Chain A
Amino acid sequence: MLEIQNLKAGYDKKVIVEVPQFNLLPGEHCLILGASGSGKTTLLSTVSGLLSPIAGDIVLDSNNYNDLYGAAMDEFRGRHIGIIYQTLHMVSALTVLDNLLLAQYAAGLPQDKKKAVHLLEHLGIADKKADKPETLSQGQQQRVAIARATINNPKIIVGDEPTSALDDNACETVMGLLLQLASSSNACLVIATHDQRIKRHFHKQITLGGAQ
């Protein structure tokens, strides 16, 4: 599903992280670990298609990122990559439900209100669907972000520290939901974190600033 070869990732022409070789099969999950500044976010952004690789190849479902530019990359990302940003980036002008529909609208996919409501029910925040995101708690907002990242059935779900702001209970719930949503659509889950609590859910790891 995801193949990385001789990847040099970074920005402003400066290489920050190198990944010689890495593979994920459909439904396989992986954790990116490393100290602050080791390039976790940079690698994750490159995998998300937010940053172009400086050198090397990333291939997702036989689409090489090097062949996708600008709007084409945006569109590919919209349909196949679900991103949970570290700062959640809720659109405060829109309701929780509309935040989910926005992801479908932006990706040019049909807007499926039933599916969105169903997803919110599944995440236990259906009663908040008509509320503005800023009225929700951090844990609730995290769930909205997860719902928004997964509504388009992406092939890969990418999360940057999705649990580090949560307490132990919320952390477990969120992790459980993420894994469940990923497996239900056979998607890969790639999470960058320094949160030791979620380590046990993952078989594969990339540790930056050291060996794989």
Chain B
Amino acid sequence: MNCVNLSFAYLRHKALSTALTMATFAAGVAMIVVLLLVNSQLQNEFFNNLKGIDLVVGGKGSPMQLILSSVFHLDIPTGNIPLEEAEKLSKHPMIKEAIPLALGDNYQGFRIVGSTPAYPTHYQAKLKIGGRYWGKAMEAVLGSEVAEKSRLKPGDTFSGSHGLNVGGELHSEFPYTVVGVLEPTGSILDRLVLTGLESVWYIHEHHHHDHDEDEGELHHEGDHDHHDEDHEDEDNHEHKREVTSLLLSYNSPLAAVSLPRMINSMTSMQAASPAFEVARLTAFMGTGTETLTYFAWFLIILAGFGIFAGLYNAMNERRYDLALMRSFGARPGKLFALMMSESLIVSLISVAAGLAIGHLLVEAFAIWINNSKHIHMTGRIFLSTETWLIPMSLVVGALAALLPAIRVYRIDIFKTLVQR
């Protein structure tokens, strides 16, 4: 007999109340885990998409809209920019990398993005075995989620629909051929169909010929102030090509000072800094997220109290047996060790269960929301912040045992055991 197996004997004996205490404790821990996981993954996903993109250049309009449409693929684009100007800018000495994007169509709601292989490479995307990047027009590479949802595989063909939302006119006369599928990246790429810029131009040039009255091929949802101008341009140069936006990364930090100003004042294009716009966005939504954070902390503290109360009650019920052990000569250290080991065993088992349940809940949630194209989540990652839960739970367990353990020495054995 020692304090550990004595503790187990007590825990087994009061199986129901032990289970209830552990359930409360584990539920609290699980809740914290869920909050941590969801929060970190939402943030991660957000910042994954921003990775290494210093500046986005597109048509004039709202800078926020430009960032949302070109980096997060959420909003509609601001309008197109001439390929010629885009190419000129790409050669600027302060620019390390320039990735052109051409939007316009979707496949089952997933955006079809015309770009160069530099775009997936920027996000460190890898092709699944047996795939390759597009070599000519109308070849496409699917993001992991698109491939999973559509069940398309290399060799299959599909047709895009006009516009960025489901329900547009089908370009059935211009089918794409899948030539590759990407491994999951945890970024927006997972939900995109990638193709060459040529494919987008190809479809819309022909589309334009077929429907003369449909004026704005690429920028059909674009800024109307610039529309007339564009239209004239089109009339003048049949084959003047455009892109939707350009993702830039700088060569030197100095670029951040001069480039945006240069672009905004000297060209017909607009430059927007993702970091700045995202900061603006978070400041705008700040009150909401702050309230949510406070609420989460409130819940965490509440869970802490619940854990403490459960353990404290369990320990308090033991007063009677502890008085008996004192009457048999048990020293303070021995009773203290007994209380502590029991409380710590409960805490340890509960925190382990809580961690497991938390991850399972997030995983279940992830599967459930898998249908949404804008959030991607998993319960199969472990955050370093979660390791803090273990010592913190043990501290709560120790505190819960401490008070009753001290009170054991105030117990009047005579009154507890004899008089009653």
Residues of A within 8 A of B (CB): 11, 41, 45, 50-51, 70-71, 74-79, 83, 85-87, 89, 91-94, 98, 101-103, 105-108, 111, 160
Contacts and interface: CB of A to CB of B under 8 A. Distances in A.
A92 B317 CA distance: 13
A92 B1 contact: no
- The 3 lowest CB-CB distance pairs between A and B, nearest first, are A78-B329, A93-B13, A106-B328
Nearest to B329: A78
A50 B420 contact: no
Given A85-B418, A93-B9, A102 B325 contact: yes
Interface stretch (B30-38, B68-76, B298-306, B330-338): B330-338
A71 B332 contact: yes
B14 interface: yes
A93 B14 contact: yes
Nearest to B11: A93
A107 B414 contact: no
B137 interface: no
B7 to A, nearest CB: 10
A93 B10 contact: yes
Contact of A11 (B12, B324, B327, B414): B414
B413 interface: yes
B326 interface: yes
A78 B328 contact: yes
Given A87-B420, A91-B321, A93-B9, A106 B414 contact: no
B328 A91 contact: no
A50 B13 contact: no
Nearest to A103: B328
A50 B326 CA distance: 10
B403 interface: no
A105 B13 CA distance: 19
A160 B418 CA distance: 9
B417 interface: yes
A63 B1 CA distance: 30
A101 B1 contact: yes
A102 to B, nearest CB: 7
Given A98-B9, A102-B1, A50 B413 contact: yes
B1 A98 contact: yes
A77 B325 CA distance: 11
Nearest to B321: A91
Given A11-B414, A50-B414, A89-B417, A74 B330 contact: yes
A103 B325 CA distance: 7
A51 B418 CA distance: 10
A78 B9 contact: no
Contact of B329 (A51, A76, A92, A101): A76
Contacts of A51: 414
15 contacts: A11-B414, A41-B418, A45-B414, A45-B418, A71-B331, A75-B331, A76-B329, A85-B418, A102-B6, A102-B328, A105-B6, A106-B334, A108-B329, A108-B331, A160-B418
A74 B327 contact: yes
B324 A89 contact: yes
Contacts of A93: 9-10, 12-14, 321
A51 B330 CA distance: 17
A75 B334 CA distance: 12
B420 to A, nearest CB: 7
Contact of A75 (B2, B329, B413, B418): B329
Nearest to A70: B409
A70 B9 CA distance: 27
A101 B10 CA distance: 15
Nearest to B420: A87
Contacts of A41: 418-419
B243 to A, nearest CB: 76
B321 A74 contact: no
A74 B331 contact: yes
A74 B321 CA distance: 15
Interface string B12-48: 1110000000000000000000000000000000000
A102 B326 CA distance: 11
A160 B414 CA distance: 13
A111 B1 contact: yes
B92 to A, nearest CB: 78
A71 B419 CA distance: 21
A115 to B, nearest CB: 14
A162 B288 CA distance: 70
B329 A50 contact: no
A154 to B, nearest CB: 11
A106 B9 contact: no
The residue among B329, B331, B417 with the most chain A CB atoms within 10 A of its own CB is B329
Which interface residue of B1, B14, B332, B417 has the most chain A CB atoms within 10 A?
B1
Nearest to B332: A71
A91 B324 contact: yes
A123 B10 CA distance: 27
B21 to A, nearest CB: 15
Contacts of A92: 13
Contacts of B417: 50, 85, 87, 89
Contacts of B329: 74-79, 106-108
A83 B327 contact: yes
A77 B327 contact: yes
B312 to A, nearest CB: 19
Contacts of B420: 87
B9 A94 contact: yes
A46 B329 CA distance: 16
A107 B9 CA distance: 19
Nearest to B409: A70
Contacts of A75: 329, 331
